[in-house]
């Protein structure tokens, strides 16, 4: 009398286990797909061009400016005591009008210039006072921020003054397994306005994106994917695990019962 319903129960348990196993395999495959980078053909003609866009000087930038020439004594008037190598610790701050104040040259409008353009402008002005002058300019505040699902979030200072999104991901210890690789948000301030860009790390055309090369003060945000569990999700999975264990115990008990009653 008990054999038929118990057999059906066992069949139902086996079916449930098979369904759970198949669902687990499908989830694992989807997870592997989510973790891929640059998924597709990379050998695209436009990807083979390496074009590093020069950084543009913006309001709030801190510049190190050092002046050199054949006449060391005359050069010191452009590198004041305590301001050697372009302002020492303080540097030259680009004000809200886009200007800096430089010793003996006065106010200079530098916003919107590249480093090379500023160097050319400085060298031209310094010819009036110095023999064979040349200028060295560096950004003292080239840093970016990365937040969200990365292993080492936070600000990063970049002495090389150039950085790609892939290099930043590397510095941050890669995305976590919960980080969305197809939709990173780049927050950028440009010419007094804020803009938002999207980066897809899975897309081979990423190298053509205007946000591939980062700029000073960019903020990169990595969002969590659907597999990121909330507290309620974790509780639900714990409950399912307990129910699965109980079902397995009942199934084993039913098998044992049938063995000893045949």
Residue 163 region by backbone torsions, left for phi larger than 0, else alpha for psi between -120 and 50, else beta: beta
Give me the helices (H) in the chain, please: 3-34, 72-75, 84-87, 115-126, 165-171, 231-260
pLDDT 10s digits, 9-67: 555 555 665 555 555 555 555 555 566 666 666 667 766 666 667 888 998 899 999 99
pLDDT 10s digits, 113-158: 999 999 999 999 999 999 999 999 999 989 999 999 999 999 999 9
Is CATH 3.10.560.10 the classification given to domain 35-52+142-222? yes
Task: Using CA atoms of 219, 53, 93, 65 in order, give the dihedral in degrees to the nearest 10.
Answer: 140
Helix, coil or strand: residue 65: strand
Fold of 62-139: wza like fold (3.30.1950)
pTM of the model: 0.66
Exposure b/e, 117-131, CB count within 10 A at least 16 = b: ebbebbbebbeebbe
């Amino acid at each position: 009398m008990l054999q038929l319903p118990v057999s059906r129960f066992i069949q139902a348990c086996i079916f449930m286990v098979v369904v759970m196993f198949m669902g687990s395999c499908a989830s694992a495959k989807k997870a592997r797909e989510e973790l891929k980078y640059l998924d597709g053909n990379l050998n695209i003609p436009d990807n083979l061009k390496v074009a590093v866009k020069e950084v543009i000087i913006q309001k709030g930038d801190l510049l190190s400016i050092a002046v050199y020439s054949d006449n060391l004594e005359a050069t010191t008037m452009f590198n004041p005591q305590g301001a050697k190598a372009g302002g020492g610790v303080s540097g030259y701050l680009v004000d809200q009008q886009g200007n800096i104040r430089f010793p003996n040259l006065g106010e200079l409008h530098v916003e919107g210039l590249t480093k090379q353009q500023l160097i050319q402008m400085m060298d031209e002005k310094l010819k009036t006072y110095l023999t064979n002058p040349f200028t060295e300019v560096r950004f003292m505040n080239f840093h970016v921020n990365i937040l969200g699902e990365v292993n080492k979030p936070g600000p990063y200072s970049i002495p090389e003054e150039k950085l790609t999104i892939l290099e930043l991901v590397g510095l941050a210890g890669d995305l976590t397994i919960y980080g969305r690789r197809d939709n990173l948000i780049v927050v950028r301030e440009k010419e007094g306005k804020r803009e938002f860009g999207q980066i897809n790390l899975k897309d081979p055309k990423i190298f053509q994106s205007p946000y591939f090369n980062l700029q000073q003060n960019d903020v990169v945000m990595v969002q969590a994917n659907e597999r990121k569990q909330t507290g309620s999700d974790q509780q639900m999975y714990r409950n399912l695990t307990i129910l699965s264990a109980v079902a397995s115990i009942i199934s084993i008990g039913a098998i044992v019962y049938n063995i000893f009653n045949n």
